[in-house]
Amino acid sequence: MSEVRRIGAALLCVAVVAVFAGCEWLLGLDTTPPTCRITSPTDSALVNGVVPLAATASDSIGVDRVEFYADGLLVSSDSFSPYAANWDVSGFTEGTWHSVSGIAYDLSGNKGYSDTVAVEIAALGPRSVYHGELDVQATGREVVSFDANPGDTLRGDVQIVAGGTLSTFLWLDKDNYQKYIANQSYTALLRQESFSQMSMRQGVATSGKLYLVFANAGSSEVKCWVRFVLE
């Protein structure tokens, strides 16, 4: 068979599959459930306040919506990717554990169940550094600052939910942050490059103002869920 005929045959197969999938949906014959996965929070994470929830979902025909559940109760529903919701845990008891899960529905009404993530309620108050969503613009950066004391521990998680990877994450003290924004040579307390997910736990050796820098050297916006807490 010539190369042209091979390509033509391959395109025909793709078209047949697409038509057949569409007919399945129109005739009510689609019985394949969508896939669903919780991407935020991470399993065993410490959470408090308003917790951002995120999930991915896919289906051969199309995803209609994703429902988010906490302890088996519906929190919210989202019909647009990236699928996200907010869960208020401010009234929960510190140290208690709770479950987060999702259900994706396709256009035929089939259900796809996610994994179940367990999270622990952390203490609220001034020890919290940052918990929420960051939209880092193309060739831009977002900065979170906080005050710490020697003996503190900084614990955090970053999960990219849209835009690929984050170019650079930096943890800087005040002097090195000033050098960084002045494009001078600097030394980071912690540096992570080109990642889609990261977790850290590191002791604080100095007091005063410290900075978390989320830098995006790419050409498109990067959206990430961020949680950093001082313990």
Q: Which residue has the tokens 């599959």?
A: 17
The list of the chain residues with pLDDT below 70 reads 1-28, 123-127
The answer to whether 150 touches 189, Cβ cutoff 8 Å, is: no
The answer to whether 193 touches 98, Cβ cutoff 8 Å, is: no
Q: Where are the beta strands (DSSP E) in 43-152?
A: 45-47, 50-58, 63-70, 73-78, 83-88, 97-106, 111-113, 117-121, 128-136, 140-148
> How far does CA 180 lie from the centroid of its chain?
27
Tell me what pLDDT residue 39 has: 93
Instruction: Report which residue type is found at 13.
Output: C
What's the CA gap between 110 and 64, in Å, rounded? 10
The answer to whether 47 touches 119, Cβ cutoff 8 Å, is: yes
The count of C-alpha atoms lying within 13 angstroms of the C-alpha of 138, restricted to the half-sphere facing its C-beta, is 5
Tell me what pLDDT residue 46 has: 84
Structure tokens at 227: 């949680």
Q: Which residue has the tokens 């395109």?
A: 11
The residue among 156, 140, 135, 139 whose CA lies nearest residue 210 is: 156
